[in-house]
């Protein structure tokens, strides 16, 4: 499955592939309230997280309805999103200087870190999910063990 965004129309389309790795069928399309900037799938491929100019949207792609939910409490200005490799957790790197962890099932914030590195421009989990790293506008990088 491939998620493709159209920034001019504020739409994200999910595509199914043929065996030759060519898009075959548009499965579902999501119309967003503002231009989409980032996309990531959950590790189990059940959820598509979409960052747009006003926040984060989560869509259960198994339903294929085009409906989605909005993460409440997420500040605008998300620079990066990352899905945990083993858990239904989404990390967001924010302009307000925080890294926030979200439970993708309950759609609630579960942790908020402020490492005092300015606006956070990048976030990533290690492949085993034990650590997370964030990079800030001041050139600093923070790596920590995920609880």
- Could you write out the three-class secondary structure of 50-87? EEECCEEEEEECCCCCCCCEECCCCCCCEEEEEECCCC
Query: 36-82 pLDDT, tens per residue?
Result: 888 999 999 899 999 887 789 899 988 888 889 888 887 778 999 99
Q: Pick the residue with more confidence: 8 or 108? A: 108
CA distances in angstroms from 20 to 54, 77, 87, 105, listed in the order given = 37, 38, 31, 33
Whole-number pLDDT of residue 35: 79
Query: 114-145 pLDDT, tens per residue?
Result: 999 999 999 999 999 999 999 998 899 999 99
pTM: 0.85
Q: Which of 18-22, 34-38, 143-147 has the lowest mean pLDDT?
A: 18-22
**Residue 84's CATH number:** 2.130.10.10
Domain limits for position 10: 2-145
Domain count, the chain: 1
29 φ, ψ (degrees, to nearest 5): -130, 140
Share of the chain above pLDDT 70, in %: 95
């Amino acid at each position: 499955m491939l998620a493709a965004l159209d920034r001019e129309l504020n739409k994200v389309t999910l595509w199914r592939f043929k065996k030759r790795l060519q898009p075959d069928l548009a499965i579902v399309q999501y119309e967003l309230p503002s231009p989409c900037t980032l996309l990531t799938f959950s590790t189990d491929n059940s959820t598509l997280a979409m960052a747009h100019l006003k926040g984060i949207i989560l869509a259960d792609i198994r339903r294929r309805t085009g409906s989605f939910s909005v993460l409440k409490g997420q500040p605008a200005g998300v620079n990066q999103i990352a899905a945990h490799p083993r858990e239904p957790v989404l990390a967001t790197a924010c302009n307000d200087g925080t890294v926030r962890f979200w439970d993708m099932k309950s759609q609630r914030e579960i942790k908020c870190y402020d490492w005092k590195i300015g606006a956070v421009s990048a976030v990533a989990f290690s492949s085993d999910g034990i650590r997370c790293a964030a990079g800030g506008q001041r050139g600093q990088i923070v790596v920590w063990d995920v609880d």
